Amino acid sequence: MCGVSVESKPENLEGTNDTLSDSESVQARYPALKKLQISISDLTIFKFCLGGIYDRSLLLKDVAMSASDQEINNLAHQVSLYTGCSHHKYQISMTKRLIQEGTSTWTLISHSNQQVLWENAVVEIEEQFMKISRCNTKSLTGQVPSFFIIQLTTFTSL
């Protein structure tokens, strides 16, 4: 990902196009953003805003593995501004923590093996789900048949 810093454009002395980019336009409307150093490119933000759930999850996974917490929070803030959906801000902000929790939960459940029987994993998964959802009443029990074997796919590529 390309690093981008927030800077003012030079004066238009030669009659070139002086139209503000989307990020500059938003920063002009929200002066507090001028203080932020943004290292996640406009293209990444654009892809996230237009992508489907699968594309967003892959993009967030990549960003979370290489970006700092501040950079992830900046991404969350910009996506929230561009889309007009404030719920994206919270979802993006918690990405890095969820990946870390998922990895440690999988390691705990699988004892570093690649396959786990559902009936052996369901209790721990349920506890983690309750923590993440911050709810005592939601439940995963009974939603996935007990003959499923959970195979390590997502977290091995971390």
Give me the residue spans of the domains in the chain.
22-93, 97-157
pLDDT for the residue 119: 79
Three-class DSSP category at 149: strand
Three-class DSSP category at 101: helix
Q: pTM of the entire structure?
A: 0.53
* pLDDT digits 0-9 by tens, 117-153: 777 788 888 887 777 777 776 665 555 444 343 443 4
* pLDDT digits 0-9 by tens, 4-48: 344 444 444 455 555 555 555 555 555 544 444 447 888 888 888
pLDDT band at 107 (very low <50, low <70, confident <90, very high): confident
Which residue(s) pair with 80 in the sheet?
Answer: none
Residues 88-98: what's their mean pLDDT?
86
